[in-house]
């Protein structure tokens, strides 16, 4: 079984993906980490995020077993990831990895921007998880502050607005809800409420 979770940054899909995977006994993949790892490799090599040759080279030599999730969650890496993820060659290089992960038994929960539309269009369940951008900015600010990162709400909000635009307007695999996706707006929900709301949407699809 494959559950596809798509949606913008800080919508809550990562936390939800982990809980759904545990609930249904599936594996979980935060596909955003793949693009963040590519971006970090490019930055670590002293290259600019828009260097397509460097980004492709990083994508082709990616080793998920060596991911440092804390380092990959840095704000600068996230901004760079939004740039490299718009590159068709990078997306193509990572597509087979994601599909192989999803296809391996017993199945998986994948969260990202194009899971239900491109990576796993035949997923049994597709959710598009979203929230108002102001709410997402507040969540991201709290997350950054918890990691000891000095951040300003206005800057975080602007970053999310720009990332949303890049992700939804890119020519290759833009972020959008699949035609058969169930929409889950988490703006006024805490993580437990999001999980319960997701189950209420998913269970009828599995019946």
Distance CA 191, CA 203 (A): 18
- Yes or no: say if 124 and 2 are a contact pair by the CB < 8 Å rule: yes
What is the number of other CB atoms lying within 10 angstroms of the CB of residue 47?
16
SS3 110: strand
- Class assignment of domain 2-206? alpha beta
Model's pTM, two decimal places? 0.89
Assign 151 a pLDDT band (cuts: 50, 70, 90).
confident
For the stretch 99-127, pLDDT in tens is 999 999 999 999 999 999 999 999 999 99
Q: Is the peptide bond before 106 cis (omega within 30 degrees of 0)?
A: yes
Kindly give, in sequence order, each residue whose CB lies less than 8 Å from that of residue 131, ignoring residues fewer than 6 positions away: 8, 10, 11, 12, 139, 185, 186, 187
Tell me the C-alpha to C-alpha distance, in Å, between residue 2 and each of 66, 102, 116, 149.
Answer: 25, 7, 10, 35
**Neighbour tally for 18: CB within 10 Å:** 15
pLDDT at 149: 81
Tens-digit pLDDT profile for residues 8-57:
999 999 999 999 999 999 999 999 899 999 999 999 999 999 999 999 99
Distance CA 31, CA 16 (A): 14
Angle CA(20)–CA(26)–CA(32) in degrees, nearest 5? 70
């Amino acid at each position: 079984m494959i559950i596809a979770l798509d949606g913008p940054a800080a919508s809550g899909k990562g936390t939800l993906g982990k809980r759904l995977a545990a609930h249904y006994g599936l594996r979980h993949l935060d596909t955003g980490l793949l693009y963040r790892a590519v971006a970090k490799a490019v930055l670590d090599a002293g290259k600019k995020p828009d260097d397509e040759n460097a980004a492709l080279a990083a994508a082709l030599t990616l080793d998920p077993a060596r991911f440092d999730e804390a380092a990959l969650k840095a704000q600068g890496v996230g901004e760079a990831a939004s740039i490299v993820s718009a590159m068709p060659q990078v997306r193509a290089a990572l597509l087979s990895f994601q599909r192989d992960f999803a296809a391996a038994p017993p199945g998986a929960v994948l969260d990202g921007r194009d899971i239900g539309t491109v990576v796993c269009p035949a997923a049994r369940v597709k959710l598009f998880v979203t929230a108002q951008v102001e709410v997402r900015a507040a969540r991201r600010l709290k997350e950054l502050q918890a990691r000891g990162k000095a951040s300003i709400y206005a800057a975080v909000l602007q970053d999310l607005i720009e990332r949303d635009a890049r992700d939804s307007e890119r020519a290759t695999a833009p972020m959008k809800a699949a035609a058969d996706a169930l929409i889950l707006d988490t703006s006024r929900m805490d993580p437990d409420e999001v999980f319960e709301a997701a189950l209420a949407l998913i269970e009828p699809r599995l019946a």
